[in-house]
Amino acid sequence: MEDEKYSKELDVAVRVVHLACFLCQRVQEGLVSTNSDHVKSKDDDSPVTVADWSVQAMVSWMLSEYFGRQNVSIVAEEDVETLSKADSTDLLDAVVSTVNECLAEAPRFGLKRPDKTIGNSQVLEAISRCNSSGGPTGRHWALDPVDGTLGFVRGDQYAVALALIDNGRVVLGVLGCPNYPMRKEWLNIHHQHYRSMSKSLPSSHSWEEGCVMYASRGSDEAWMQPLIRGDEKFEWPNFAKLIRVSSIDDPALATFCEPVEKTNSNHSFTAGLAHSVGLRKQPLRVHSMVKYAAIARGDAEIYMKFARAGYKEKIWDHAAGVLIVQEAGGVVTDAGGRPLDFSKGVYLEGLDRGIIACSGDALHDKIIGAIFASWDSSNL
């Protein structure tokens, strides 16, 4: 079976994403509690943090160790331009320190650790190796080290996303969601409030933060594994459980997700679509690919994203989440009803207007129909 073909890759990927979540949790606690200045802005004004670079360096190092540097092609979001500047010495030191602290914990996750401390040049090299442009042939890992960095900086939702694309098809998807609460109604509440709320609740109602979801193409299964806590040792696949999309097909009962920020998403158009198909609930606005996680786990039924003109979707923002939703029983297409094409390189070239993810065909057909009926009258 196709899913068994990638068993080693899945094993390594799941462990690596768990380790990456462990790293991110440490960094996020520091950012939220100390207002650290280790947050920078990219050319497009989106934020990037110590965690983004540290996760990318760690994942690059791990994949190279397990599959051979010459055999690993990684398409990832970050580069070393900012870290290489003369005035970024402190920032680079923080990244190198974070990477080494993380790698020191690798044996807890059943992973190798380096024989000695990794230096500045090695960390920069590991980040720089993630410069593949992907394409229709060969194997390419797609990595978003911290998807939803704005949510991460705010102490809210974010994700670590790793997918394997083989000859243009996504064959593995692993999605780490360190702040994902087990009760979906808490997704609408800022993460920093979860802790104070959970302290006042009986232990049986604890929000049990953090999980990793994963799937292999052709398995018709998607799984969820809780993150380890404290000094626990990671055990996999122990404690993993199957997840499945919701069975709700009545629009009046369905919950739909959309991005928090309006910069690259048209909230007014999705609101119009929601009304036209009979969606009555308020949208669930969540940072990052946690929206795909919500669909896969049955916490929501619809995810719609329509980017502003000129914005191009990157493969690392969707690959892992799309496969997990599909293997959990859901449907993901562009707004024209066509499968997303991950074979064209860094971007989802040829994307028809937007992205639609649904728990089933009935809701998906209604959304697609509404798009065709209302698109010409929209202002996108």
Is there a catalytic annotation at residue 149? yes
SS3 content of the chain, % helix, strand, coil (to 5): 40, 20, 40
Could you tell me the two tokens for 20? 């990456």
CB atoms < 10 A from the CB of 263, how many?
Answer: 13
Could you tell me the two tokens for 226? 């809780």
Cα-Cα-Cα-Cα dihedral sign, residues 101, 107, 112, 117 = positive
Instruction: Answer left, alpha or beta for residue 169, where phi above 0 means left and psi between -120 and 50 means alpha.
Output: beta
Q: Is 36 exposed, middle or buried (0-12, 13-18, 19+ CB in 10 A)?
A: middle
Specify whether the CB–CB gap between 180 and 210 falls below 8 A. Answer: yes
Ligand-binding annotation for 317, yes or no, is: yes
Ligand-binding annotation for 77, yes or no, is: yes
Q: Spell out the alpha helix ranges (H) of the chain.
A: 2-5, 7-34, 50-67, 89-104, 120-128, 149-153, 191-199, 267-277, 290-297, 319-327, 361-374
d(CA 216, CA 326): 10
Is there a catalytic annotation at residue 98? no
d(CA 119, CA 124): 9
Catalytic residue among 82, 90, 115, 149: 149
* Residue 52 DSSP symbol: H
Ligand-binding annotation for 365, yes or no, is: no
Ligand-binding annotation for 301, yes or no, is: no
Catalytic residue among 49, 52, 255, 333: 52
Q: Which residues are annotated as a binding site for Mg(2+)?
A: 77, 144, 147, 317
Residues with catalytic roles: 52, 149
Q: Which residues are annotated as a binding site?
A: 77, 144, 147, 317
